[in-house]
Amino acid sequence: MDIGTAKPDAAELSAAPHRLLDILDPAEAYSAADFRRDALAEMADIVAAGRIPLLVGGTMLYFKALLEGLSPLPSADPEVRARIEQQAAEQGWNALHQQLQEIDPVAAARIHPNDPQRLSRALEVFFHFG
């Protein structure tokens, strides 16, 4: 799908080739770990061609993942995520935040109860590792 905020136009793309642009359908999942893997591969190709990679656009989350790496956590588990989403639908995210508070007070202190993505991921990691 040809969308994006401040996306380079055809003239800019012909003057300076861009990588990792329009590589997925918006319905496909793509994580910071996926980006890191793909960006490192693209950067290696660019360096091998005798050029210097220039990073532009994106979010600091992905840039930080590229520079610092990520914790060795399990990949998202759709079944566990679905259970968490169902529990949130039945009890609300505040109840899940309270559950996280009991399980991991440090993580709960960092994650706002109105941040379902991070809250869900924290619980998902707990269910994998205990």
| Mean pLDDT value of segment 79-108 | 95
| CATH number of the domain to which 110 belongs | 1.10.20.140
If one counts the domains in the chain, the total is 2
In a domain, 55, yes or no: yes
Token pair listed for 34: 């996926």
The answer to whether the beta carbons of residues 113 and 94 sit under 8 Å apart is yes
Domain-ending residue, one of 68, 88, 116: 68
Domain range for 93 is: 78-129
Regarding pTM above 0.75, the answer is no
Q: State how far the Cα of 81 lies from the Cα of 127, in Å rounded to an integer.
A: 10
pLDDT band at 13 (very low <50, low <70, confident <90, very high): confident
Residues 82 and 125 both lie in one domain: yes
Assign 3-class secondary structure to 18-58: CCCCCCCCCCCCCCHHHHHHHHHHHHHHHHHCCCCCCCCCC
